A = this chain, B = another copy of it.
Amino acid sequence: MIYSQFKATLLLRLSADHNDDSKPDGYQVKNSGMLRRLTLFYFLLFSFQFAVAQKATWIWYPGDFEIELANKMQNRRTERGTFYPVFWKMDAHYVLVDFHKVFDVPQQEEVNIYVEGEYNVKLDGKLFEGSPGHIIVPAGKHKINIKVFNRGNVPAVFVKGKSVVSDSSWLVTFEDKEWIDESGKTSDVSATKWLKAGYWNFNLPSQLPSAFKLPVVKNSPVTTTKGNKSLFVDFGKETFGFIRLHGLKGKGKLSVYYGESREEALSADHCETLDRLDVNNTIKKEETLGLSKAFRYINVQYEGTVSLDSVSMLYEYADVKERGSFRCNDEEINKIYEVAKYTFHLNTREFFIDGIKRDRWVWSGDAYQSYLMNYYLYFDNETVTRTLLALRGKDPVTAHINTIMDYTFYWFLGIYDYYLYTGDKTFIQQFYPRMQSLMEYCIGRRDENGLMKGLPGDWIFIDWAAGLSKKGEVSFEQLLLARSLETMGLCAGIADDATGVARYKKLSEELRKKLFELYWNENKQALVHSRVDGKQTDNVTRYSNMFSIFFNYFNESQKQAVKKSVLLNENIQKITTPYMRFYELEALCAMGEQSYVLKEMKDYWGGMLKLGATSFWEEYNPGKKGAEHYSMYGREFGKSLCHAWGASPIYLLGKYYLGVKPASPGYATYDVEPNLGGLQWMEGKVPTPKGDIEIYVSREQVKVTGKTGIGTVRIKSKTLPTGKNVTAINKGENIYEITIQPGVEYVMNYSAL
């Protein structure tokens, strides 16, 4: 059997590889030639075994890989060369985990076992001696347990036999409560809570979860300018990665100053990130810096006898696939869409992060927008759940997520949307207890009026806006809590918690009622910003008003009133962050103001492009000039010029122009309500769990093909839409509905109003 020999040799090699703890930190799974050969080999092996073999993958306690990766990722921030970690609690993985599954094995088989950690193996409750690398499992029904201890890394298991393989159907616990009495009898373990194993895409024994790194690819600058003891380099656009110094020789200090703008790189004293090296090379050497960073410009300054030939980079990126798309007749909008995509791609890394230059942290409010953009571009569920898990951490809850009250609520909202877009119940069932404890934390912090008020240690963020009051009971926070409670009601149902369903439903209804009783001002025709000392304040801000629109908390007349009194009212404080522009424009779109929003988009995002932006910013105030744009937080270059929340056109164009959104969880049914908003034509794709929805829209024709679910196209037309496969139903007021079956192309000829 050539195949068996082959396999044995391979496993031996992998095993040796696996046991090598001295592996350097720079070890790159994606870049190893040996591993690529192994992958090819495994591909052949898998092809050969295809008819019988199950797919094995590394598994762990769900959430633990994610939490550990967040620990590594979020503590990579530096500020001018200094380690700059987060200011909230970071949790850790369970150090001791039991994995098990019962298998029905058709024929005796050899099962190979790879483990990250110290471990033992049981077959039907009986321990093997030592920590076996492979075991023989006889035919029949058998239970396999693997118990793993690992302090430094997440306990993880990869099991590969013919039918016995590790995958998400294994059950795991951090307390098996399996003891014996004095006669040797084993305890009843029926009360142990077992979760389904966590996993991702580590499908080879050699792909250790603990060694995970993002892939990199080489990249060169567009221009290089040599000075006296200096080198200035421009990569042509915002980018991210590891700087590589070529031909580095001599002795002396070398500093690398990073800039998102030319001004920042040139400011040795005020640039936000830098690296310092002590060079001592008698021959020319290449040096790759250890920490990846954001930049467009690099300013290298050196002293002594140091000389340097050139600078290049290793571009570091997340290997996500673009599935959504948008194109239209307006080239400025197309450019905005492209730059939004690039901005979003740079900020989609191990997690959805806020911005690539400064924090590189996972912020719940920022991530919430990324989830939504993701549903219209990558539909990468893993990055969503990974981010949600990293944000949530573990019990006990000792603070709001990121310490920010609103950010706790966005976490719940993110789950609501995740379920709506993906239909994934397992995630909710597995993590419902973590949702409960976080919600109970919030409920326990309400004041005597049952409202959320900032307690010491709570950050009421809302938005970066000058003079925004955080005092008293802010309406925006109550609104988000109400929506979070609704989410809990939904999730309680999925998790079979009938008591929870009733409890959260009651709480959310009470709060929604209170919201209007306490904050609606008839004179102002708006929700006011806050209550202080039991009294409505005079202040009206956009936040709770715009959210109430797309939450559907207003009735139709309130909506129309608020549009005038708040959204389109120049006297209400303007929003200067793309963060809140996101929701402002969403609210306007939800009310059919696509033409207005298109103009706003061209003004605001187009405005940044006109200033030379190659990615979208953390904040943009058209009133500022030149390098003024780069300052924030009292620092000259404090502002991030590549911020995820700047990429919202991806979401707006997909959801409100192409007009696609799920009508029931996981796109089982969905709506298509295209709105050109003044464009001549547009076309694009919207990803769903089971394939894309393709759309073309002009003023005369709408074409839709959906790979999934049952769609309802809703178009406004002067005439009855007709065409290929089309049966339109007149819903009155020039609205027509066409039902879309999966896999069929519909061509609707109509006449736009």
Is the CB–CB distance between B179 and A459 below 8 Å?
yes
Closest-CB distance, A293 to chain B (whole angstroms): 16
Q: Does A183 contact B (CB under 8 A)?
A: yes
Partner of A131, one of B83, B120, B459, B633: B83
Q: Which of A87-146 contact B (CB under 8 A)?
A: 87-96, 118-120, 127-131
Q: Does A13 contact B (CB under 8 A)?
A: no
Rounded to whole angstroms, the CA-CA distance of A182 and B468 in the bound complex is 11
Contacts of A131 in B (CB 8 A): 82-83
Rounded to whole angstroms, the CA-CA distance of A466 and B183 in the bound complex is 9
Residues of A contacting B: mostly: loop
Rounded to whole angstroms, the CA-CA distance of A180 and B398 in the bound complex is 20
Query: Which of the 9-residue segments A68-76, A326-334, A491-499, A508-516 touches chain B?
Result: A68-76
Rounded to whole angstroms, the CA-CA distance of A68 and B638 in the bound complex is 39
The winner among A83, A130, A147 for most chain B CB atoms within 10 A is: A83
Is the CB–CB distance between B456 and A178 below 8 Å?
no
Closest-CB distance, A621 to chain B (whole angstroms): 12
Partner of A96, one of B75, B118, B456, B634: B75
Given known A151-B71, A192-B457, A456-B188, contact A92–B89 (CB-CB < 8 A): no
Q: Does A84 contact B (CB under 8 A)?
A: yes
Closest residue of B by beta carbon distance from A464 = B182
Rounded to whole angstroms, the CA-CA distance of A457 and B176 in the bound complex is 9
1/0 contact string of A291-321 vs chain B (CB within 8 Å): 0000000000000000000000000000000
Given known A83-B149, A118-B75, A456-B191, contact A179–B130 (CB-CB < 8 A): no
Q: Does A184 contact B (CB under 8 A)?
A: yes
Rounded to whole angstroms, the CA-CA distance of A316 and B466 in the bound complex is 65
Closest residue of B by beta carbon distance from A193 = B398
Q: Does A44 contact B (CB under 8 A)?
A: no
Closest-CB distance, A103 to chain B (whole angstroms): 21
Contacts of A130 in B (CB 8 A): 81-82, 276
Contacts of A178 in B (CB 8 A): 87
Q: Does A678 contact B (CB under 8 A)?
A: no
Closest-CB distance, A253 to chain B (whole angstroms): 13
Contacts of A626 in B (CB 8 A): none
Is the CB–CB distance between B634 and A455 below 8 Å?
no
Q: Which of A160-187 contact B (CB under 8 A)?
A: 174-185, 187
Given known A83-B119, A191-B457, A455-B191, contact A177–B403 (CB-CB < 8 A): yes
1/0 contact string of A150-161 vs chain B (CB within 8 Å): 011000000000
Closest residue of B by beta carbon distance from A576 = B182
Is the CB–CB distance between B84 and A175 below 8 Å?
no
Q: Categorize the interface residue count of chain A.
A: 35 or more
Rounded to whole angstroms, the CA-CA distance of A83 and B455 in the bound complex is 48
Contacts of A151 in B (CB 8 A): 68, 71-72, 92, 152
Given known A182-B633, A184-B635, A456-B191, contact A175–B83 (CB-CB < 8 A): no
Is the CB–CB distance between B187 and A88 below 8 Å?
no
Is the CB–CB distance between A90 and B83 below 8 Å?
no
Given known A129-B81, A149-B83, A638-B184, contact A88–B175 (CB-CB < 8 A): yes
Contacts of A83 in B (CB 8 A): 118-120, 131, 147, 149
Rounded to whole angstroms, the CA-CA distance of A75 and B91 in the bound complex is 21
Q: Does A190 contact B (CB under 8 A)?
A: yes
Q: Does A211 contact B (CB under 8 A)?
A: no
1/0 contact string of A177-221 vs chain B (CB within 8 Å): 111111111011111100000000000000000000000000000
Q: Does A79 contact B (CB under 8 A)?
A: yes
Is the CB–CB distance between A85 and B175 below 8 Å?
no
Contacts of A455 in B (CB 8 A): 191
Closest residue of B by beta carbon distance from A118 = B83
Is the CB–CB distance between A396 and B395 below 8 Å?
yes
Q: Does A38 contact B (CB under 8 A)?
A: no
Contacts of A118 in B (CB 8 A): 75, 83
Partner of A82, one of B71, B95, B128, B403: B128
Closest-CB distance, A577 to chain B (whole angstroms): 9
Is the CB–CB distance between A89 and B175 below 8 Å?
yes
Q: Does A80 contact B (CB under 8 A)?
A: yes
Closest residue of B by beta carbon distance from A189 = B457
Rounded to whole angstroms, the CA-CA distance of A173 and B152 in the bound complex is 21
Q: Does A399 contact B (CB under 8 A)?
A: yes
Given known A72-B151, A118-B75, contact A82–B175 (CB-CB < 8 A): no
Given known A71-B151, A180-B633, A184-B635, contact A399–B175 (CB-CB < 8 A): yes
Contacts of A638 in B (CB 8 A): 184
Q: Does A632 contact B (CB under 8 A)?
A: yes
Closest-CB distance, A23 to chain B (whole angstroms): 13
Contacts of A180 in B (CB 8 A): 633
Q: Does A729 contact B (CB under 8 A)?
A: no
Rounded to whole angstroms, the CA-CA distance of A95 and B89 in the bound complex is 9
Rounded to whole angstroms, the CA-CA distance of A177 and B454 in the bound complex is 14
Closest-CB distance, A71 to chain B (whole angstroms): 6
Given known A71-B151, A455-B191, contact A82–B182 (CB-CB < 8 A): no
Partner of A149, one of B79, B85, B181: B85
Is the CB–CB distance between A634 and B183 below 8 Å?
yes
Q: Does A744 contact B (CB under 8 A)?
A: no
Given known A83-B131, A128-B82, A191-B456, contact A71–B95 (CB-CB < 8 A): yes
Closest residue of B by beta carbon distance from A75 = B149
Q: Does A611 contact B (CB under 8 A)?
A: no
Q: Does A86 contact B (CB under 8 A)?
A: yes
Rounded to whole angstroms, the CA-CA distance of A175 and B91 in the bound complex is 11
Closest-CB distance, A158 to chain B (whole angstroms): 18
Is the CB–CB distance between A92 and B93 below 8 Å?
yes
Closest-CB distance, A189 to chain B (whole angstroms): 8
Rounded to whole angstroms, the CA-CA distance of A127 and B161 in the bound complex is 54
CB-CB nearest 6 A-B residue pairs: A184-B634, A191-B456, A191-B457, A92-B92, A152-B152, A182-B464
Q: A75-B96, A183-B634, A190-B456 are in contact. List 18 more A-B contacts (CB 8 A).
A: A71-B95, A79-B127, A81-B129, A83-B131, A84-B120, A85-B96, A87-B177, A88-B175, A90-B149, A91-B95, A151-B152, A175-B403, A177-B459, A183-B633, A184-B638, A192-B457, A395-B396, A396-B437
- Can you name 25 A-B pairs with beta carbons within 8 Å? A68-B151, A71-B95, A75-B96, A83-B120, A83-B131, A84-B127, A85-B96, A85-B147, A86-B96, A87-B175, A87-B176, A87-B179, A89-B174, A90-B94, A90-B95, A92-B93, A177-B459, A179-B459, A181-B633, A182-B633, A184-B634, A184-B635, A191-B455, A191-B456, A192-B457
